[in-house]
A and B are shown apart, each in its own frame.
Chain A
Amino acid sequence: MSKPKFVYVTYIRTTPEKLWAALTDPQTIRTYWFGITAESDWKPGSPWTLTFADGRTADTGEILEAVPHKRLVIRWRNEFKPELKAEGWSRCTMEIEMADYYPDFGGKAVKLTISHELEGEGTKFIEAVSGGWPKIMSNLKSLLETGDVAFAE
């Protein structure tokens, strides 16, 4: 039996460098993540925290892998909803690849894959992130392509 897991893929007209910056810059994150921001020095072993606009801690974790412009792995636990926190640690992998596009396209497209997997058993945490990631990733794509987000809560 495989672990509870959510996978989301999006293609964005941008470069791996710009996408990496958008995934790791607290101010940019706040713009596409509904006021929530992530802070870390983005080095393996460093702490990582997700903070609401009012300062409360949403989630905490640790950077497991960080390969700039390519791959980020975060060990991640919810802190603000007891029923989600009870399900324990998860692992979120963000992978950036160049997309295969037609040469007449005249721009670059990048493939971003988010895989979010629970380390133990449970369904609520993965259910929660399954609703969240499409909104966050849709906003990130819009922000990079148009300068504005698609969806506000």
Chain B
Amino acid sequence: MVEVSKFKPKTVYVTYIAATPQQVWDALTQPEFTRQYFAGFAIDVEPRESGAFRMLYPDGRVHIAGRVIEWSPPRRFACTWVVEGMAEFRDLPECLVTYEIEPAGESVQLTMTEAHSWDVPDDLLSGGRAGWPAILSSLKSVLETGKPLRLKMEPPKEMMAAVERLKKG
């Protein structure tokens, strides 16, 4: 079992969305939404604690795999996360991604926290730090306008270099 207390928050992103908590929950947990804003990946999740969590490429291959740590609709969804789809990342320790949905006036505050259980180098965190603002900005656009931003995303060079260094070390 995953020891959640070992994970320390390293990257936090907060956004406010003109939507209901249920709409934000659906956008985070349903493949027809994630395909639009999450670089084309479809979520595939067993909706319960300890259930399997995956993000799938359009052809069905696994990009990200993990376990559901908390499933509390429509407020908190947490899962562990390993990038299975890229050989360079497969052996890294899993991280913990938590989404918290809080009503804020007539809108919703969405907080994403990426937490790690080891002393992860900053260069390795650059992937999430570049990716989350793009993903969550596009999620907000999907819910507020019906249209995603269709941003191109690729792993930052410093992240790939950090992974190479870890493999050699």
Contacts and interface: CB of A to CB of B under 8 A. Distances in A.
Interface of A: 8-13, 99-102, 104-105, 107, 109, 134-135, 138-139, 141-142, 145-146, 148-153
A105 B149 contact: yes
- 5 closest residue pairs by CB, A with B: A138-B16, A9-B133, A11-B137, A105-B150, A134-B14
Given A145-B144, A152-B106, A10 B133 contact: yes
Interface in B91-127: 104-107, 109
B118 to A, nearest CB: 21
B149 A109 contact: yes
Contacts of A148: 18
A104 B138 CA distance: 15
B152 A150 contact: no
Contacts of B150: 101-102, 104-105, 109
A2 B67 CA distance: 36
Contacts of B107: 150-151
B147 to A, nearest CB: 8
Contacts, number: 75
Contacts of A12: 137
B15 A101 contact: no
27 contacts: A9-B134, A10-B137, A11-B133, A11-B137, A13-B141, A13-B145, A13-B147, A99-B149, A102-B150, A102-B151, A102-B152, A105-B150, A109-B151, A134-B14, A135-B16, A138-B15, A138-B140, A141-B141, A142-B18, A146-B145, A149-B18, A150-B17, A150-B107, A150-B144, A151-B105, A151-B107, A152-B105
A16 to B, nearest CB: 15
Contact of B138 (A11, A139, A149, A152): A11
Contacts of B152: 100-102
